[in-house]
Amino acid sequence: MSADVDDPVRASLERFVGKPLGPPEEGGEPRLAPEAVNGPMIRHWVDAFDDRNPVYENETTASEGRFGGVVAPPAMLQTWTMPRPKIQGIEARGGAPDDMTFDNPVSALDEAGYVGALATNSELEFERYLKPGDHLRSINVIESISDQKMTGLGKGYFVTWVTTYTDQDGEVVGRQLFRVLKFDPSTIPGLGGDTK
């Protein structure tokens, strides 16, 4: 898909497409998770979601089954690589876990007036289940940015990125595709503004 070259906002976003997302000092390298996969965080999750699949904490059941031992709930994949948050000031940062700022299409669209954000799609893929001791790295790459679309929330752009998760041996253990609509709330249809 080639970008709409007559749209200066979309044209300005072309620099992100196909590129890793992150601070320049990381040089596009995958980021190490703060913690290795571990029992306490698994049990915290099991209790929060009341997910009593025995393979998450019953070593006897788990060792007799396909996984050969206790595994982490697969949906925890993203949790392992969530950054350690700075709690003070998180409201002022709009919920961002830390002060780290780097050039990215979501901020660029904020600055261009497309301040609304709505997550539209999530696709998690698991190559294998994780075991305690696995230590992940993750890297985010902008897969695509749509041309400007008129949506029910106003004019906007769909930004799609793919996070790839690798283990301590460099093997891919999972992926997540994530799509967000960044929209300009002042252009919502029916507000008397430009609705074409």
Partner 1 sequence: MSAAQTSPRGADIAVGAALPDWELNVTPTVVVAGAIASRDFMPVHHSRDYATAQGAPDIFLNILSTNGYVSRFITDWAGPEAMVRKIAIRLGGPAIPGQPLRFSGEVTDRREDGDEFVFDVAIRAANDLGDHATGTVTLNLPR
Q: Which residues bind partner 1 (CB under 8 A)?
A: 41, 44-45, 47-55, 61-62, 65-67, 73-76, 78-79, 82, 85, 87, 90-91, 95, 97, 118-126, 129
Does residue 142 contact residue 17 with C-beta atoms inside 8 Å? yes
Q: How far is the CB of 151 from partner 1 (least distance, A)?
A: 14
Q: How far is the CB of 193 from partner 1 (least distance, A)?
A: 17
Q: Find the farthest-apart pair of alpha carbons in the chain and give their distance in angstroms, rounded.
A: 64
What does the alpha-carbon distance between residue 182 and residue 136 come to, in Å, rounded to a whole number?
29
How far lies 75's CA from each of 46, 80, 150, 174, 175, in Å?
11, 10, 32, 10, 11
- Residue with Cβ nearer partner 1 (61 or 164): 61
- Residue with Cβ nearer partner 1 (24 or 95): 95
Q: How far is the CB of 179 from partner 1 (least distance, A)?
A: 9
Q: How far is the CB of 142 from partner 1 (least distance, A)?
A: 18
What does the alpha-carbon distance between residue 187 and residue 196 come to, in Å, rounded to a whole number?
9
- Radius of gyration (C-alpha) of the chain in whole angstroms: 20
- Residue with Cβ nearer partner 1 (125 or 147): 125
